[in-house]
Each structure stands twice: as structure tokens, then as C-alpha cells.
Amino acid sequence: MNILTIRQLQYITALADVQSFSKAAEQCNVTQSTLSAGIKEAETLLGRAIVDRSKRKPSLTAFGSDILDHARTILEKSEQISLLAKQYDKPMSAPIRLGIIPTIAPYLLPRLLPLMQARYPDLHLQIFEDLSDRLHTDLVRGHLDLLIMAFPYHTEGAHQHILFDEDFYLASPSSAPNAPHDHDVICSTELDPNTLLLLSDGHCLSDHALQACDLQRPSKRKSYSASSLTTLIQMVGHGMGETLLPAMVIESGQLPASIQTRPFKRPAPKRTIGMAWRDTSQRSADYMEIAALICDNLAPATIS
């Protein structure tokens, strides 16, 4: 009986994800002709068209869509067998593809990576920085193994594990007229969301900050917004306004002298930092070990 190969299933799922023969071939590290021939052979074996090639962008046929979830499941099970073999050889030696959001990566990773290298010298860690929605999609599709992100965030098909909460601070230009002292406490009711500088849409930090302060999304957006936290910090330092920053940013020592920060009155607004991995993953024990490493060594320094 002729059956599909793992490689053919990889070709099909890659094409479904990127809708391009050339990009799918690049993702699978093969030539376009090899990928196309592999999918054609799979169609011959099954007696059904898997790919609709009549449009500019190739897409799966109805039959192809029906078998896609099965293909992903088979690929995941195959990967788990390989990982299990490596774990029998030496625990925490199988590669981990870690996705992390940009408002955490520059502040947590410089402290986390040396700890992981010392604790797990044989671990090959691949890091991918992106927004939450794309990271979640890549996790579910099997392109990533583990996420570090901010919650609340809906991660269908994935298990969430909370690491710690961290306070928000109000960041203001230190050169502003009548600038308060760093330790002057502010109440979240004093904030006007229409005057706050926020990250552009797609970043969950702004939504979490506004939600934590019980503020509505601004009806009139500030003239300036930023696509990265680094840019937002620079904008505040140049006197363009105020913003809300999480504790790990404050305690990183990376803020310029032109910015002052103020804590909020207790209970302070917070965001939650956690991890996520697929519900079907066989490496939960490994991920829980990493979670313990973070909580034991990093969480106290990020909670004010």
C-alpha cells in the first residue's frame, strides 16, 4: 500500500501556510521543483487534487483543507518521537524554538539566556521575536515550541502557565515644567488616555496597560504613536508626552536620564507575564523547568 511520506506532509503544510511554491520550498530547504513534484506524487497516491493551481496564489482544495489538520497532527507526532529519542539520550538537549514578544525580549532575555546556558549547556535555543498574534499562529502550526508573552491573551490550542505579575509605572520627561519627583505616587484615576503615548495597534502592551488602569482606548489618538517600545521611550525622553512602562523596563537600567518614572498608588496596575505551549506537546516537563528557572531567579527583580 502506497502511503504519504513525512516529507510530503511537510510540503503540503508549508504550502498551505505561505501560499507560494517558492517560499514553501525555501521553508522546507528544498528546490521548488522538488516540492512541486512531491505534492504531485501525493495527489497521485491519493487520487485527489490537494492544491488548486488555477489562481495566482496556490491554495488548498476542499480535500486539501480537510486533510491539513491530520497532516499537522502526524508531523507533530513524528517530531515528538524524535524529541523523545533525544531526551532519552540527555534531558533538555532537544532544540526549543522560543517565541517572545518585543516588549519582553530586550529586558528579560539578557538576564535569562546566561542562566539557561549555564543550566542547560546542551540546549539549542532558537529565538523568534514577533507580535503575540503571529507567535500564537506559529505555535499552533508547529513552527514554534514555546512562547513567553503577556496575558491576558487568548491562546486557543495552547496551555498557559503564569510566571509573575509586574507593576506599570508612569514615564514622563524629566525636563517637563513642575516635574514631580521619581517617588511621587500617582493614582490611575489621574491619567488621561487621550494624552498618553501608546504603541501602535498590534502590540498588546497598550491594551494591557489601559486595561490595568481601567482606562478606555483613547477616542482621540495622540498625534504620535510608536511601533516599538524603544522608539516610544525615546519619544518620551524628547518631551513628546508620557507613557506607561512595565517594571522590567524600569529595572533594566536602559532608560535615558531624560525620563523619570513614578509608581502608582497600591494596588498598582500590573501586567501578567507567562508562557504558552501546545496542548499536545510532550515537553511540558521541560517547559515547567524553564518556568521554575525564571521564577526562582528573575521574578523578584521584576516585581516592585
> Residue 189 belongs to a domain with what CATH number?
3.40.190.10
The residue out of 59, 87, 115 marking a domain boundary is: 87
189 and 261 in a common domain: yes
Show the domain range for 130.
90-163+273-302
128 and 72 in a common domain: no
pLDDT at 202 over 80: no
The residue out of 65, 87, 109 marking a domain boundary is: 87
94 and 79 in a common domain: no
How far is 65 from 60, CA to CA, in rounded Å?
6
The residue out of 27, 58, 87 marking a domain boundary is: 87
253 and 119 in a common domain: no
Contacts of 223 (CB under 8 A, 6+ apart): none
First to last CA, the chain: 63
117 and 99 in a common domain: yes
How far is 304 from 169, CA to CA, in rounded Å?
10
Of all residues in the chain, what percent carry a pLDDT higher than 70?
87
Q: What is the pLDDT of residues 93-127, one digit of tens each?
A: 888 999 999 999 999 999 999 999 999 998 889 99
226 and 172 in a common domain: yes
Confidence (pLDDT) at 175? 67
83 and 136 in a common domain: no
* Longest CA pairwise span in the chain (Å): 81
Pairwise pLDDT comparison (55 vs 138), residue with the higher score: 138
* 119-140 mean pLDDT: 93
pLDDT at 184 over 90: no
Confidence (pLDDT) at 116? 94
Considering the domain boundaries, does residue 191 fall inside one? yes
Confidence (pLDDT) at 150? 93
Q: How many domains does the chain have?
A: 3
Confidence (pLDDT) at 267? 82
Tell me the C-alpha to C-alpha distance, in Å, between residue 62 and each of 142, 161, 244: 22, 36, 47
Of all residues in the chain, what percent carry a pLDDT higher than 90?
51
142 and 284 in a common domain: yes
151 and 168 in a common domain: no
3-state secondary structure (DSSP) of residue 92? coil
Considering the domain boundaries, does residue 1 fall inside one? no
Beta-carbon count within 10 A of 192 CB? 9
Tell me the C-alpha to C-alpha distance, in Å, between residue 80 and each of 85, 91, 257, 284: 9, 14, 49, 12
110 and 253 in a common domain: no
pLDDT at 301 over 60: no
3-state secondary structure (DSSP) of residue 228? coil
CB 147 within 8 A of CB 217: no
Confidence (pLDDT) at 225? 59
pLDDT band of 219, cuts 50, 70, 90? low
Confidence (pLDDT) at 302? 40
How far is 128 from 135, CA to CA, in rounded Å?
8
100 and 49 in a common domain: no
* CATH number for position 18: 1.10.10.10
* 196-215 mean pLDDT: 71
Side-chain-facing half-sphere of 99: CA atoms under 13 Å: 23
User: What is the value of pTM for the model shown?
Assistant: 0.72
* DSSP symbol at 216: P
Confidence (pLDDT) at 110? 94
